[in-house]
């Protein structure tokens, strides 16, 4: 059994929760921005697989999980803010030159760090990543999240929009994610995050994405209705040192819907691109 430790770090004044397991080269896993997302819900089944060869560190982004949730009146929950927080976390943990895996909003955060602080990320996996305005408006699948109504049935709709047809969440998954956004401060943070997402602050100009020089693996579910295949293809077109891996019968959550396939692809990429 892999021991997964739950710890906290001070990221420039933000009390940041993270999970840690294994040893070896640091591998940072960053979750997406859906209602009820956090490091445990996204990565608990991948961590034991990846921790066989890597020191896996999975933080909760600001506003999510057990990490601080500043009041929206005093903090702007936009993508530049997430980039700063995660860079501060990597600095606090002494993780210069780490390998980085980001799902959705976590991918957009990795893009920002790779461009602004290239010293912190040696190579990167973008899985169902945000970061480009494709499609130009939120898809119907994403709207389940942007319009989340803080009910159990609403959470089931969120999960349905993030997964391929036929995926059946367990009652425990639904309740876990529902409970994470049940507190008033979590609801206020999510509302502020979704408001900024509607403004398009998750997106970068194409020339910014094209400036990434690190090796990048672009992973996408073939049936992802949130980060659709044309976005994955655009990342591959723009990023010079990029590989692509498309997962069949899979939506936005390759780390959950196709765990072993996804982890094997990540491990192979990291071994191939090791310095």
Let me know: does 85 contact 9? Beta carbons within 8 Å.
no
Paired with 124 in beta bridges are: 100, 216
- Give φ, ψ of 99 to 5 degrees: -80, 145
Q: Give φ, ψ of 263 to 5 degrees.
A: -65, -35
Q: How far is CA 28 from CA 151, 158, 274, in A?
A: 31, 25, 15
* Three-state DSSP state, 162: helix
Say if residue 135 is preceded by a cis peptide, omega within 30 of 0: yes
How are beta strands 54-59 and 14-21 bridged, if at all? antiparallel
Q: Which residues have a catalytic role annotated? A: 104, 224, 252
Distances (CA, A) of 175 to 36, 136, 152: 9, 32, 7
Structure tokens at 95: 């993780």
Q: How far apart are CA 111 and CA 202, in angstroms?
A: 10
CB 205 within 8 A of CB 233: no
Q: For residue 92, what are its two tokens?
A: 């606090």
């Amino acid at each position: 059994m892999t021991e997964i430790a739950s710890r906290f770090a001070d990221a420039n004044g933000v009390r940041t929760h993270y999970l840690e397991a294994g040893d070896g080269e640091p591998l940072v896993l960053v979750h997406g921005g859906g209602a009820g997302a956090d490091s445990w819900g996204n990565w608990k089944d991948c961590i034991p697989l990846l921790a066989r060869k890597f020191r896996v560190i999975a933080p909760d982004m600001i506003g999510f999980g057990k990490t601080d949730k500043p009041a929206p009146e005093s903090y702007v929950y936009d993508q530049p803010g997430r980039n700063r927080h995660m860079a501060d976390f990597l600095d606090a943990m002494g993780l210069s030159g780490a390998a980085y895996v980001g799902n959705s909003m976590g991918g957009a955060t990795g893009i920002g760090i790779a461009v602004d602080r290239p010293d912190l990320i040696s190579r990167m996996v973008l899985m169902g990543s945000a970061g480009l305005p494709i499609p130009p408006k939120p898809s119907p699948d994403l709207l389940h999240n942007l319009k989340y109504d803080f009910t159990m049935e609403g959470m089931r709709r969120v999960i349905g929009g993030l997964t391929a047809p036929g995926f059946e969440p367990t009652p425990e998954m639904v309740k876990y994610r529902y409970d994470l956004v049940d507190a008033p401060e979590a609801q206020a943070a999510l509302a502020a995050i979704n408001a900024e997402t509607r403004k398009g602050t998750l997106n970068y100009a194409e020339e910014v994405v094209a400036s990434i020089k690190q090796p990048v693996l672009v992973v996408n579910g073939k049936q992802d209705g949130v980060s659709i295949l044309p976005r994955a293809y655009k990342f591959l077109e723009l990023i010079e040192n990029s590989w692509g891996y498309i997962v069949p019968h899979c939506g936005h959550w390759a780390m959950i819907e196709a765990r072993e396939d996804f982890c094997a692809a990540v491990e192979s990429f990291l071994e191939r691109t090791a310095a």
